[in-house]
Amino acid sequence: MTRSARPAATGRGQAPPRTSGLLFGLGLGGFVDGIVLHQILQWHHMVSAETPPTTLAGLEVNTVADGFFHLATWVLVVAASITSITAWRQGRLAPNFSFHLGLVLTGWGIFNLVEGLIDHQVLGVHHVRDDLGAPLSWDLGFLASGVLLVIGGWLLHRRGARALEQAAERRG
């Protein structure tokens, strides 16, 4: 049997998976952090508190660490794409804007919370602003942004989920 001649998918009419939006949010949140904070603003690099980028060797170490960080965020986006395609092939419902964007924002907030707690506080490998004498206020602001993204994203997602449920009830 060819792929195109498969029997009807088992997920037909089911709600879209949450994993896709959350994975997109984790990956895209990491890209924003890496591109904006590491590369454009150059406030910190992945291990800049451990190996300051003040010498060529220090910058090389941080650039490689940033590269592995970007690779990990890219893998999250690929995983999100795979889960989306798998859901579509199963015939699951497409997410509406609120459902999906809410999950993306929630995933981004989770990224900020994990990054902020693990890398900034527990491991101390870098802070949001390594170029300042007292980076704690920037780190706390980063954590607060994570909390706001999770709360706002989840509320937006729930609104979209309710709309999907109501639409399914009207059809059913």
3-class SS of residue 142 = helix
Q: What are phi and psi of 96, to 5 degrees?
A: -80, 175
Structure tokens at 105: 């924002």
pLDDT of residue 77: 98
Quote the crossing angle between the two packed helices 97-114 and 18-32, to the nearest 10°.
50
Residues near 124 by Cβ (< 8 Å), separated by ≥ 6?
A: 49, 50
CA torsion sign, 86 to 91 to 96 to 98? negative
Q: What are phi and psi of 154, to 5 degrees?
A: -65, -40
**32-45 residues labelled b (16+ CB within 10 A) or e (exposed):** ebbeebbeeeebbb
**pLDDT tens over the chain, length 172 residues:** 444 444 445 667 788 999 999 999 999 999 999 999 999 999 999 999 899 999 999 999 999 999 999 999 999 999 999 999 999 999 998 999 999 999 999 999 999 999 999 999 999 999 999 777 668 899 999 999 999 999 999 999 999 999 998 888 887 6
d(Cα 148, Cα 153) in Å, to the nearest integer? 8
DSSP annotation of 3: G
DSSP secondary structure string for all residues of 4-52? GGPPPPTTTTPPPPHHHHHHHHHHHHHHHIIIIIIIIS-S--TTTTTS-
d(Cα 116, Cα 120) in Å, to the nearest integer? 5
